[in-house]
């Protein structure tokens, strides 16, 4: 990053930090509705269809998924787990400004971002029955969350970005803590139907280089709170950063459009 771009980025960060508190969204607790509350009729059918698409994405939408993942490979427990990028409350949070896009985007655009990056695939048509079903599920998940508020646990847990990554140590952490599920070569663990019990974390069937999970501290934040599965929080922040440094550096599909990311800040992601 040259001096001018660094200065521009610094000013942008300072401006965001000094913005009035009133510009920030209120944060509320994350309610997860009971499935018994899914309505009867066409709307309820759409909600159920949306959940099926998000939990069995590779099989249900083979024309839109270019790897071996499902949406719930990262959005755990059908999008209801705090700090695993839950979908609860998203229906009332969008449209919103996204720094990676450098513009205000809709929820449909955010969903398609994941299809093109995390799923290494193709976007859904905005007016398709599949997109509407996904939107219906997210709207139902957002029941009781006031419009314009954030839920506690949205996105990923914060992690200390001053920690210096050590990918050599990260490989040791991966071997000891991750390889039994995700494979010694990051290839994941397949099920008899040809999908994955545990998703691949690098290679052709994993997310591409444009995905949020391909960025060091984003991946580390996810790992720290959620991994190993069932023992989230058992790794230190340093271990999480180190293991993320190891697996994010492994080969994965390219994403040519990544060159257009963060147009208002700098040529590449503002944070690793």
Do 128 and 200 share a domain, yes or no?
Answer: no
In a domain, 181, yes or no: yes
Q: Are residues 143 and 186 in the same domain?
A: no
Sign of CA dihedral 34, 39, 41, 42: negative
Are residue 171 and residue 140 in the same domain, yes or no?
A: no
Query: Is the Cβ–Cβ distance between 65 and 130 less than 8 Å?
Result: no
Helices (H), the chain: 3-17, 42-55, 57-60, 76-79, 107-116, 129-141, 167-177, 179-182, 216-226, 237-247
Asked if 70 and 189 sit in the same domain, the reply is no
Q: Is 62 inside any structural domain?
A: yes
pLDDT band at 5 (very low <50, low <70, confident <90, very high): very low
Give tens-digit pLDDT for 111-168: 999 999 999 999 999 999 999 999 999 999 999 999 999 999 999 999 999 999 999 9
How many CB atoms are closer than 10 A to CB 184?
10
pLDDT tens digits along 46-69:
999 999 999 999 999 999 999 999
Residue at 4 is within a domain: no
Question: For residue 198, what pLDDT is reported?
Answer: 98
Residue 145 belongs to a domain with what CATH number? 1.10.760.10
**Do both 29 and 147 map to the same domain?**
yes
Say whether both 183 and 117 belong to one domain: no
Report the mean per-residue pLDDT for the chain.
Answer: 90
The confidence score (pLDDT) of residue 266 equals 58
The total number of structural domains in the chain stands at 2
Q: Does some domain include residue 161?
A: no
Closest to 198 (Cα-Cα) out of 187, 182, 186, 185:
182
Q: The domain containing residue 54 runs over which residues? A: 24-151
79 and 186 in a single domain? The answer is no
Q: What's the chain's length in residues?
A: 272
Say if residue 131 is in the same domain as residue 45.
Answer: yes
143, 37 Cβ separation under 8 angstroms: yes
Considering the domain architecture, whether residues 92 and 208 belong to the same structural domain is answered as: no
- The owner of tokens 């580390």 is 220
pTM: 0.88
Is residue 14 over pLDDT 90? no
pLDDT of 248 above 50: yes
Q: Judge if 174 and 246 occupy the same domain.
A: yes
Residue 104: inside a domain, yes or no? yes
Together in a domain, 139 and 28: yes
Q: Do 147 and 250 reside in the same domain of the chain?
A: no
User: Which residue, among 33, 231, 53, 31, has the nearest Cα to 132 in the 3D structure?
Assistant: 53
Dihedral sign, Cα of residue 130, residue 136, residue 137, residue 142: positive
């Amino acid at each position: 990053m040259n001096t001018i771009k660094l200065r521009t980025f610094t000013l942008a960060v300072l401006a965001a930090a000094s913005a009035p508190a009133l510009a920030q969204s209120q944060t509320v607790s994350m309610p997860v509705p009971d499935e018994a509350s899914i309505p009867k009729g066409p709307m309820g059918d759409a909600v159920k269809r949306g959940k099926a698409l998000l939990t069995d994405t590779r099989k249900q939408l083979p024309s839109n998924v270019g790897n071996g993942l499902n949406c719930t490979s990262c959005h755990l427990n059908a999008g209801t787990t705090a700090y695993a990028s839950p979908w609860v409350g998203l229906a009332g949070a969008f449209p919103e400004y996204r720094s990676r896009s450098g513009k205000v985007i809709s929820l449909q655009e955010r969903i398609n971002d994941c299809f093109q990056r995390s799923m290494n695939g193709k976007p859904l048509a905005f007016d398709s029955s599949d997109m509407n079903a996904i939107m219906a599920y997210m709207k139902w998940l957002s029941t009781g969350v006031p419009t314009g508020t954030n839920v506690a646990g949205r996105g990923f847990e914060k992690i200390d970005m001053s920690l210096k990554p050590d990918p050599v140590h990260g490989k040791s952490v991966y071997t000891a803590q991750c390889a039994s599920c995700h494979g010694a070569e990051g290839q994941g663990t397949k099920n008899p139907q040809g999908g994955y019990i545990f998703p691949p974390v690098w290679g052709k069937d994993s997310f591409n280089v444009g995905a949020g999970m391909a960025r060091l501290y984003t991946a580390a934040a996810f790992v720290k709170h959620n991994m190993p599965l069932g023992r989230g929080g058992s790794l230190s922040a340093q271990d999480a950063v180190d293991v993320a440094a190891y697996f994010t550096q492994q080969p994965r599909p390219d994403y040519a459009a990544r060159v257009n990311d963060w147009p208002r800040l700098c040529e590449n992601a503002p944070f690793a």
